[in-house]
Chains A and B, each alone.
Chain A
Amino acid sequence: MATTKHTLVALVEDKPGVLNRMASLFRRRGFNIESIAVGHSELPHLSRMTIVVDGAGTMVEQVRKQLDKIVDVIKVSDITGDNIITRELALIKVKATSATRSEIIEIVDVFRANIVDVAADSVTIEVTGDGEKLNSLLRLLRGFGIKEISRTGQIAMARGGPGSPSVKGGFPRKQGRGEEG
């Protein structure tokens, strides 16, 4: 099945307002964002952000270029279609009785997920994987009655290679002339 989803990876400065600036841009230009996930990168003072955009209604190249215009955004790459690893984590609280608990555990084992909490009337499952895997598990659990879901949004990375975006001399550079003297 052809997907219209695009995965953008952005390296951004750890400064107040960066996320605000990006969110403001998405809203103002009407970009439809599926998920956004952010955390520290391997470089000091820089965060890496994974943004999933539905390309059906949004010009992904415009999203990339507009994000790149933000001064505190160092680099944005569209890594869709590249050989990439994507992961998402979800916590799922499912209704469980003594009658259904073992069946739930079986499903959890098949998905190599973990049960992280058990209560009298529920179990909480932690699952990691790509979006497809998470959705499959959710479909199976739905029959038991889902009480609560919390998902992190997708993070992504290119396989092998020099790293993405490439980092030379410790600090990535945009194309163009250097700063003024």
Chain B
Amino acid sequence: MKMTGAQILCESLVKEGVEVIFGYPGGAVLPLYDTIPHYPQLRHILVRHEQGAAHAADGYARATGKVGVCLATSGPGATNLVTGIANAYLDSSPMVAITGQVARPFIGKDAFQEIDITGITLPITKNNYLALDVASLAGIVKEAFYLARSGRPGPVLIDIPRDVFVDQAEFHYPARVDLPGYKPTFEGHPAQIKKAAKLIDEAERPLIIAGRGVVISEGYAELKQLAEKAQIPVITTLLGIGCFPESHVLSFGMLGMHGMAYANMAVNDADLIIAIGMRFDDRATAKVSAFAPHAKIIHIDIDPAEIGKNVRVDVPIVGDVKVVLKALNKLVTSAEHVDWVKCLDSWRQEHPSTEIRDSQGLLPQFVIRQIYEVTKGEAIIVTGVGQNQMWAAQHYWYNKPNSLISAGGLGTMGFELPAAMGVKVGRPDDIVWCVAGDGGFQMTIQELATIVQEKVAVKIAILNNGYLGMVRQWQELFYGKRYVATPLTCPDFVKIGEAYYLPALRVTRKEEVVPAIEQAMEHNGPFIIDFMVEPEENVYPMVPPGAAIAEILEAPKKEVTAWPRRSTP
């Protein structure tokens, strides 16, 4: 039976197990929107800005491991997706972005709402397609989903001209893809794994750095087995947080610019680094030439291009983390590194890094810790970028895999709210807290309307310091306290909540924190808490930009007595 392009697309999405589409209609996708209601399996969530659709699909994908789908019209609809696609690309999030395009006869004519979105997204997608023929559409969708989720996951874009949605063809969903140029390697090379096992057996001060690759491959048990079998301390990258329980005796937190001092010191002192599913981002390594100066490095990653890109590697293993670790664990001999672990423990005693000082003022760190206490560590925390992100990473303790979802590589303000929405849609039974700064929150604030309309019970904690906090921190430390373009006059977020028909509270004092969080938890639906936190609080520890990983600035012993705050207009 012949079907229209729009029907073929919907049928294909159903075949791929798609349950939800985050989208926004427009002229070029109207034939598709007219078809979607005939597929009740496909829940369409109408966002308020296409960036929100992309972030929501990204959040959904990370929370579920399934491919997230976003949909936009041609031209501005498509370009509004770009930030979200780039964010998914940098953090290896499986996503299929579908855009409408002007009808084929108009392509290349600068027609109304025409933009070359496949050209624009070339460097931020695993692959992209312009579907010029309705007969090719099903095959393209099949390929797109396969590429998005397999190997190192990432976003794939499909651009579909308006008239292709209307054209008709027989629908045959291909059973397999034929991509001779794409064959991800899953099994690590046995000789390399053998070499790695030998290095691990010989090491006196081994250290595991675990990244998002562990989450993607779900290699949690294998990671734990390796750490325990050879008694190897584990630190994680920002996106690796939760892949190893932070309460474990071998867990020593996060490394990097705002990592725990003891984690960074461990990197500096280790004689062997086992890097698992991470890519040596500059925020993790600090000054590359001074990274792990005494260590040999084993690097396990599914993407061969990550090997040797930023740091020299002694034993590269290309493969799926879970599969490689399984093989590696068989070869590694049981060992103890009691002195080394004791050494790390003593560093943790001396440089606690996550201690929250006594303060009269309302500290953002304290807020995060109370969210942890009230949710008993069971929540999924979603953040954008900045101070709020770092405090959420440091002061909530993650024992469940994949319980921190954060804009890592691209560092996108405004990711938090739409992503949290996507997470909650994908994991409706989990508690989802969006931790936002007052700056980032205003970048995608319009999605409050979406979560209300779609009844998505996201709890929102705004750490409101009246500044673009992380930038202000850099200005304080490195630009002589010249706060250029960082003070923010914010709207009344409680009234914003009211205006969007959702309950909101303002918290200004420490003792109000727990009752407010409890009230938010008890409320059956989305909820905003505007925490008026200490305006000039800094994130510590900090490795200054350009410094080596062991050159750590720790929190100065300052006590904030008053609650200095600029008046609102």
Whether chain B is bound by chain A comes out as yes
In the bound complex, do residue B305 and residue A62 qualify as a contact, i.e. CB atoms below 8 Å apart?
yes
- The interface on chain A, measured as residues whose beta carbon lies within 8 A of the other chain's beta carbons, has a size of 33
Give chain B nearest CB distance to A57 CB in angstroms.
16
The yes or no answer to A89 lying at the interface (CB within 8 A) is: no
Across the interface, B182 reaches (CB within 8 A) one of A25, A71, A181, namely A71
Taking a contact as CB atoms under 8 Å apart, the answer to whether A177 and B118 are in contact is no
Q: Is there an interface contact between A68 and B304, defined as CB atoms closer than 8 Å?
A: yes
B119, B130, B182, B186: the one contacting A174 at CB < 8 Å is: B182
Asked if residues B126 and A71 are in contact (CB atoms below 8 Å), the reply is: yes
Q: Determine chain B's interface SS by DSSP, over half rule.
A: loop
The CA-CA distance from A171 to B181 in the complex, in Å, is: 10
What is the size category of the interface that chain B forms with chain A?
Answer: 20 to 34
Asked if residues B181 and A73 are in contact (CB atoms below 8 Å), the reply is: yes
Residues of A with C-beta under 8 A to B185: 175-177
Are B122 and A173 neighbours in the complex by a CB distance under 8 Å?
Answer: no
Query: B377: which A residues are within 8 A, CB to CB?
Result: none
Q: Is the CB of A28 within 8 A of B123?
A: yes
Interface: A74 (CB within 8 A): yes
Assembled-state Cα–Cα distance A21/B126 (Å): 11
Interface centre among B130, B177, B183, B303 (most CB of A within 10 A): B183
**Bound Cα distance from A74 to B179, whole angstroms:** 9
Whether B1 is near chain A, meaning CB under 8 Å from some CB there, is no
Cβ-defined contact, B178 with A179, below 8 A: yes
Contact B186 A177 (CB under 8 A): yes
Render B162-186 as a binary contact track against A, CB cut-off 8 A, 1 for contact: 0000000000000111111111111
Task: Name the distance in Å between B484's Cβ and chain A's nearest Cβ.
Answer: 30
**A66 contacts the other chain (CB 8 A):** yes
Given the interface pairs A20-B122, A61-B308, the reply to whether A72 lies near B181 with Cβ below 8 Å is yes
Closest A residue to B118 using CB positions? A17
Bound-state CA distance A71–B177 (Å) is 12
Closest-CB distance, A34 to chain B (whole angstroms): 21
Q: Does A40 have its Cβ within 8 Å of any Cβ on chain B?
A: no
Say whether A20 contacts B119, CB under 8 Å.
yes
Query: Known contacts A69-B305, A180-B176: does B123 contact A174 (CB below 8 Å)?
Result: no
The reply to whether B122 and A71 contact each other, CB–CB distance below 8 Å, is no
A61 to B176, CA, bound (A): 32
Q: Residue A69 contacts which of B175, B176, B303 (CB distance < 8 angstroms)?
A: B303
Contact with B along A140-158 (1 / 0, CB 8 A): 0000000000000000000
Q: A79–B503 Cα gap in the complex (Å)?
A: 66
Tell me which residues across on chain B come within 8 A of A173, comparing CB atoms.
Answer: 180, 183
Contacting residues, chain B, for A174 (C-beta < 8 A): 180-183
For the complex of A and B, 5 pairs with smallest distance between CB atoms: A174-B183, A176-B183, A65-B305, A176-B185, A74-B181
Instruction: List residues of A whose CB falls within 8 A of some B CB.
Output: 12-13, 16-17, 20-21, 24-25, 28, 59, 61-62, 65-66, 68-75, 171-181
Subset of 6 A-B contacts with CB under 8 Å: A24-B122, A62-B305, A71-B126, A72-B181, A179-B183, A181-B175
